[in-house]
Amino acid sequence: MRRRHIVLKIGLCFVMLMVGWAAWDRSRLVYELDARSFTSESLKMVEERIQITLPNGSRGLNMLFDGSHVDPSLVAKIEIPAASHEAVAKQLEPFPGKGRCVTSLSKRVTWWNPSAATIRIQRGLMPGGDSVFVLLCEENGRWILYVEWACV
């Protein structure tokens, strides 16, 4: 009877450990979003990661998040309202450089295809030690912000 009680306790501890691990591991997923599944919460997450305020009316078009490594990363394509694209460009202007982010996620998606002919501004920045590359361009009359972020 006592041995059965000990086995039950060990089993319960194991189950609790596995449930805790599964809850912790949710942020370590790899997932892709499109315009239908790109929620306002996901848009807010991108904003927080790149430390830039997106204007009201911004709309997520695509995102690939890879949290399966020690250093998570993401790429996103966000539509910026035409009336607000200059405000976004002004936020980006103080940041130095045109360097690229260290992630290769942009090579894994077909939708990362910024129009080189219509680039308004591009910047490589390192807010808080993270690597961020942003590019604002016009595509078919719409303003698109391409974002590449990696925690380093």
pLDDT band at 53 (very low <50, low <70, confident <90, very high): very high
Indicate the domain borders of the chain.
Answer: 27-150
135: nearest Cα among 150, 115, 152, 151? 115
pLDDT at 132: 86
- Asked whether residue 11 carries a pLDDT value surpassing 60, the answer given is no
pTM assigned to the model: 0.78
55: nearest Cα among 25, 87, 32? 87
Instruction: Write the Ramachandran bin of 141: left for phi over 0, alpha for psi from -120 to 50, otherwise beta.
Output: left
- Asked whether residue 82 carries a pLDDT value surpassing 50, the answer given is yes
CA–CA dist 61, 43 (Å, integer): 10
